[in-house]
Amino acid sequence: MTLRYAVIADIVGSRTLTNRAEAQKIFEAVLERAAEGLALLETPYATVGDEFQAVAYSLEDALLLTLRAQLLLPPQLQLRFGIGVGRIEEFASGVHRQAPARPRLSEGASLQDGSAWWAARAAINRAHDVQDSSNPFIRTWFVAHASVEPYISATCQTAVNALLSLRDHAILKLSARHRRITASLLLGKTQVEIARVEKLSQQAISDFARGTGAGLIQSSLLIAEAARA
């Protein structure tokens, strides 16, 4: 079975935004940057209402996309993510599009359905429920469709969601500057490049990467390892 990883994102508190049009531009720009260098079948694109969608070839890339996006967004703008694994079916009536050929979020996506999307919808609903009921810091949830249990075990799902909970909590504790620094490190920027942009010393960036930011960066590696298990 060929597995695909569908990602659904929705805007947290979209009805309270004072300038929805400007916020939409920021969300689209952030998602485009978050997708840089990742293996995506569908790069992030806006759908209807306050939602965005994407498709990754691997769980690792789906998780990294959501992490980068959370870090790149300004604190007043937040997204909630549901990641689902399963099958994806494309229909001939849709506009076929490969990620490299699609430079902007506004272009049309292919018409799709399948168990990966059903799982992603269940995942984002679960994230919303957990956020509202007991853990307001939750922003990401992962669900494997029942049909792919031989490939993605329940233990793997539990491990990934446990690490995602810790990751989401750590992100909300970071300052806006520390989010930007962590995002830049995960995007492959050098410490010298980051220091120049942030008007800090290279030593300050190094200290952060080995101190406050180390746990979050390490968690991304642990989640990737769990995803490959």
Q: Which of 22-31, 73-82, 148-157 has the lowest mean pLDDT?
A: 148-157
What local confidence, expressed as pLDDT, does residue 6 receive? 97
Cα dihedral sign for 221, 224, 228, 229?
A: positive
Burial class (CB in 10 A: 0-12, 13-18, 19+), 179: buried
pLDDT in tens, 185-199: 888 899 999 999 999
What is the value of pTM for the model shown? 0.87
Q: Cα–Cα–Cα angle for 130, 131, 132, nearest 5°?
A: 90
Average pLDDT, the chain: 86
Average pLDDT score over residue span 204-212? 88
From CA 124, how far away is CA 108, in angstroms rounded? 23
pLDDT in tens, 51-108: 999 999 999 899 999 999 999 999 889 999 999 999 988 776 544 444 444 444 444 5
